[in-house]
Amino acid sequence: MVLKPDSYARRMKGQQGLRRIINALRYSADGVRFACEEQGFRQLLWLHGALMLMLCFAGFATAVKMILVLGSFASIVIELLNTGIEAAVDHTSQDQHELAKKAKDVGSAAQYITLAMLAVLWLMAFTGD
């Protein structure tokens, strides 16, 4: 893909070195702030916050704790991607369309599968050796 010389994308991608890293961190923070505007994302943060608090007091082995933390982070990352998909679809059109519904539903399904995985991991942690 060739970017126009005066385009916004070209100016942003043209940064190098420390400036590019600083910009990337700022864009990431903007993404988290945007996601936090969504009630579902805030609820997910509360859920994972509670799970991390429980993890502090659980007597699991370090490897088990690492897997549970990884599962929580995976869920948060999937929700960020799902929020991005929804925003992109809504930007494209506010009209009801079968493909827009499929895109949103698939993103939602990815989140629920990740939460199911996390539930299985916690169940295994509690019932394991």
Q: Is residue 69 part of a domain?
A: yes
Contact present, 85 and 64 (Cβ < 8 Å): no
Lowest mean pLDDT among 6-15, 31-40, 112-121: 6-15
Helix spans in the chain (H): 8-13, 17-36, 39-57, 62-92, 98-127
In a domain, 48, yes or no: yes
Mean pLDDT (the chain) is 88
Average pLDDT over residues 108-122: 95
What confidence score (pLDDT) does residue 46 get?
A: 96
Active site residue 37: no
- Domain of 109? 40-127
Instruction: Report pLDDT for 122.
Output: 96
Q: Which of 37, 38, 79, 98 is catalytic?
A: 79
Q: Is residue 19 part of a domain?
A: no
Query: Quick one: average pLDDT of 27-55?
Result: 92
78-96 residue pLDDT tens: 999 999 998 888 888 777 8
Residue 30 lies in a domain: no
pTM over 0.75: yes
pLDDT for 90 = 84
